[in-house]
């Protein structure tokens, strides 16, 4: 029964209920904005504001000498042009491309092999699964320190085992080539368990009927993998490859604790170059520009992968 329209209800009571009903109707209409407001505030505080502040730094000359004063000379795109023309930054960029390419490809290959192996039931699977996933549970800093001890040229365990088979001790972290190779090995060891876990989840969700029909028609396991598993698993592969590419481009913790960018600049990737520029030389404006360039590079690479994924979904 609607009180506001009842003839027996006083007009003062009907008028008292009207403003309250209007407030409730307004809150109902704006409920979705109220619910997402905390998310927007957090997003602005953690992402948008730092990005805008970083953009402001990148177009000014900001160093340890003037950062507290707030009087920063405006220099436009000079920091960006200095980064793009600097030989150290260029070498760091190509070193990052090589590091990301090697680590992501190796992780995908090893992760797929491990996922295929664990996608069937075998004795000891429940015991080996936690061991296969253990590396991803360790923090990157601990991984770098752990492998730094293992690769020590004087008392490291790896050189000890090599000496047992007659191989001389290697300068894993002192030789430029071996240091970069060691960095790739450590990154693969740490990240392959994540790739393995995601691909295993994708494999377990694939339908069995196409494979059964293929085997009945005489297809081999390789043919079933090539023409059935890979096409159906392609979206999962693209997603996990994108995540690992982003991680490889912004990798810092393991590199800093394992080699510190050395020897020389052999393992000084772009994230290390950014750190040295901003926090060791104190050029915050140039470091901010390098951070934006690194962000743009990541966006370009990942957007290409997702565009490929979208085109595949539309074609199917």
Whether 179 and 95 map to the same domain: the answer is yes
Which residues, other chains included, contact 194 with Cβ-Cβ below 8 Å and sequence gap of 6+? Answer: 111, 136, 240, 243, 244
Share of the chain above pLDDT 90, in %: 54
The Cα–Cα gap between 271 and 249 comes to 7
pLDDT in tens, 88-101: 899 999 999 999 99
C-alpha to C-alpha distance for 65 and 80, rounded to whole angstroms: 21
pLDDT at 1: 44
pTM of the prediction? 0.82
What tokens does 206 get?
Answer: 């694939």
Chain segment 133-181, per-residue pLDDT in tens:
999 899 999 999 999 999 998 888 999 999 999 989 899 999 999 999 9
- Based on the fold, state whether residues 89 and 33 are members of the same structural domain: no
Is the residue at 67 inside a domain?
no
Are residue 35 and residue 168 in the same domain, yes or no? no
Q: Looking at the domain assignment, is residue 63 inside a domain?
A: no
118 with 200, same domain: the answer is: yes
- Does 54 share its domain with 88? no
Per-position b or e across 157-171, b if 16+ CB within 10 A of its CB: ebbeeeeeeeeeebe
Rounded to an integer, the average pLDDT of 185-198 is 95
Kindly state the average pLDDT of the residues 50-74: 88
- Listing DSSP states for 148-214 in one string gives HHHT-TTT-HHHHHHHHTTPPP--TTTSHHHHHHHHHHHHHHHHHHHHHHHHHHHHHTS-SHHHHHH
| Sign of the alpha-carbon torsion through 211, 214, 218, 220 | negative
* Predicted confidence (pLDDT) at residue 16 exceeds the cutoff of 60: no
Based on the fold, state whether residues 23 and 164 are members of the same structural domain: no
Say yes or no: 166 and 39 in one domain: no
DSSP characters for 127-139? HHHHHHHTGGGS-
When pLDDT is averaged across residues 29-35 and rounded to a whole number, the result is: 76
| CA proximity to 276, closest of 92, 26, 8 | 92
Instruction: Say whether both 21 and 88 belong to one domain.
Output: no
- C-alpha R_g of the chain: 28
pLDDT of 199-245, one tens digit each?
Answer: 999 999 999 898 889 888 888 989 999 999 999 999 899 889 989 99
Q: Give the dihedral of Cα atoms 188, 194, 200, 205; nearest 10 deg.
A: -140
CA distance to 219, 234, 270, per residue, from 312 (Å): 25, 9, 32
Asked if pLDDT for residue 10 goes beyond 80, the answer is no
Number of domains in the chain: 2
Whole-number Å distance between alpha carbons of 232 and 242: 17
Q: Which domain holds residue 289?
A: 84-315
**92 compared with 65, residue with greater pLDDT:** 92
Residue 276 CB neighbours (<10 A): 19
Q: In terms of residues, how long is the chain?
A: 316
9 pLDDT band, cuts 50/70/90, is very low
The pLDDT value given to residue 60: 92
């Amino acid at each position: 029964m609607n009180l506001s329209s009842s003839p027996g209800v006083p007009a003062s009571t009907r008028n008292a209920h009207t403003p309250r009903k209007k407030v409730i109707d307004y809150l109902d209409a704006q409920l979705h904005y109220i619910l997402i407001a905390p998310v927007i505030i957090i997003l602005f505080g953690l992402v948008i504001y730092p990005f805008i502040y970083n953009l402001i730094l990148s177009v000014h000359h900001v160093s340890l000498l003037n950062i507290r004063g707030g009087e920063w000379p405006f220099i436009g795109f000079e920091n960006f042009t200095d980064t793009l023309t600097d030989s150290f930054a260029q070498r760091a960029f190509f070193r990052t491309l090589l590091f990301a390419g090697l680590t992501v490809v190796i992780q995908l290959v090893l992760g797929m092999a491990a996922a295929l192996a664990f996608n069937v039931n075998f004795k000891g699977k429940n015991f080996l699964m936690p061991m296969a996933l253990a590396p991803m549970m360790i923090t990157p800093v601990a991984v770098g320190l752990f492998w730094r001890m293992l690769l020590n040229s004087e008392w490291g365990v790896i050189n000890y085992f090599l000496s047992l088979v007659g191989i001389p001790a290697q300068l894993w972290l002192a030789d430029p080539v071996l240091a970069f190779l060691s960095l790739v090995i450590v990154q693969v060891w740490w990240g392959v368990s994540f790739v393995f876990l995601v691909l295993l989840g994708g494999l377990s969700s694939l339908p069995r009927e196409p494979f059964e029909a293929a085997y009945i028609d005489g297809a081999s396991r390789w043919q079933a993998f090539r023409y059935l598993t890979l096409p159906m698993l392609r979206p999962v592969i693209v997603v996990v490859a994108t995540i690992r590419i982003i991680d490889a481009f912004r990798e810092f913790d393991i590199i800093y604790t394992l080699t510190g960018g050395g020897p020389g600049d052999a393992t000084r990737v772009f994230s290390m170059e950014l750190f040295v520029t901003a926090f060791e030389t104190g050029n915050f404006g140039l470091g901010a520009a390098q951070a934006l360039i690194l962000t743009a590079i990541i966006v370009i690479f990942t957007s290409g992968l997702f565009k490929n994924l979208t085109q595949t979904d539309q074609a199917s």
